[in-house]
Amino acid sequence: MYNELNERMNKMSVNEEIITKSNDGCNAKSLIEDRIILNVGGIKYETFISTLTAYPDTLLGIMFSERNKDMVHSTNGNEYFFDRDGYLFRYVLQYYRTGKVHWPEFLSSNQMENNSFVDKGLKQPASPIEVAGIISLNNKEGGVVDNLTGLGVGNYVSLPFTREELEQELLFFLIPTRSDEELTESILQEESLNVTTPLLTFANKAVVDNVNGFLYSLKEVMYSLASLFEKKIMITFYHDRRAPVFKLIPPNPNIIMNELAPFNEKMKTILTPYAGVGYTLLMNFENEIEAWMIEEIKELRWFMEKPSGLPNRFVLYLSFNDKFLKQQILKNSLLSKVVNGGNASQNLNTNVNENTTTSSATNAMGESSGGDAIANSSTTS
């Protein structure tokens, strides 16, 4: 490493000597005037103004531009001081020299856990000077150093700064943190998105509104079904403009004759707008509609068939894989205000059972509700 550094320094000196002799000292004077020292937090870096101004949109490129030269003042001849992190500045200067941000390899969170190196069998981290990659015999005396070496010196396994700190330093010096390749890829991705997602046309917007309305209608059907302590329904959607047909499964004659007349009217109001359209939507978006419904109603069971010999209809079977739990209903309804402990609940059970008119109606309700805990507390008119 030391040999490589000395070789690079020697080449730099030879090149400067050749330029000086071939131009009778003119270029030599220019190089001397162009060379500056950046004292960053006590660590000194030597570079050329032309190296910095090659990137005019960065902080140092702006500061040392020709138009701003009268506004920048040195602290000691050609030395300029910056009250920033001297170790992190290595990556800033490397950008000016190479045109790229050279990210160090940071340890993972698992490796840094408990901030322990001995327990994990790792070596102690190198000194900050080694980590920064600064090698100079005169460094301790505050001499000028040239930060040319890369990481990997010494025995270090950790860095004395985080990626976030380095990103903040690059941001301060207005260094772009993405390469040209990354920027190009990002632009291509944005253009690709613009191509694949055109503006919504009038006709497609109408279909989108219909899809959304259909989804909410199916959800409302299941909500209305559950409110009557029912769990299964069959809906037939036709290809022609006939209104959808529905019925409960299994049917309970006692309930249908009396309680479900309002329910029938409500179902018609919900489903009739999708006469014909419901068939088309299910034909094109069945899997997506099913996925949305199951996401909205976790307990939902979905099955759809196309009966053989009847090509112009879809039969949709919807049911709940759920139980009507009495205590859950009591605790989450207005009844919670009048229920105090188990005694009141027991009294409520007794009153409900006394009001049950026939065992046959109770059995029918239990069959319709899947034999849930709340079935034996149902009443009939």
pLDDT in tens, the chain (381 residues): 446 645 655 554 444 443 434 444 555 556 667 899 999 999 999 999 999 999 999 999 999 998 888 888 888 888 999 999 998 999 999 999 998 888 887 755 555 554 443 333 333 444 444 444 443 333 444 444 443 333 333 443 467 788 888 888 999 999 987 655 666 676 677 666 665 556 788 999 999 999 999 999 999 999 999 998 889 999 999 998 899 999 888 766 665 555 567 888 888 999 999 998 999 999 999 999 999 999 999 999 999 998 887 778 999 999 998 888 999 999 999 999 888 654 544 544 544 444 444 344 334 334 444 444 454 443 333
* Per-residue pLDDT at 213: 94
Partners of residue 145 on adjacent β-strands: 45
* Per-residue pLDDT at 182: 65
* Per-residue pLDDT at 282: 93
Residues 82, 61: Cα–Cα separation, whole Å? 15
* Per-residue pLDDT at 11: 53
| AA identity, residue 60 | L
* Per-residue pLDDT at 313: 92
For residue 250, the SS3 value is coil
Long-range Cβ contacts of 174-179 (<8 Å, 24+ apart): 174/57, 174/58, 174/59, 174/62, 175/58, 175/92, 175/95, 175/101, 176/101, 177/101, 179/100, 179/101
Whether the model pTM is above 0.75: no
Residues 320, 149: Cα–Cα separation, whole Å? 68
Contacts of 4 (CB under 8 A, 6+ apart): 149
Tokens 């959808």 belong to 244
Residues 13, 174: Cα–Cα separation, whole Å? 31
The strands making up 245-248's β-sheet, listed across from edge to edge, are: 245-248, 232-238, 313-320, 300-305
Q: What is the CA radius of gyration of the chain?
A: 39
* Per-residue pLDDT at 116: 42
Architecture of domain 30-96 in this structure: 2-Layer Sandwich (3.30)
DSSP 118: T
- Per domain, the residue ranges of the chain are 30-96, 201-318
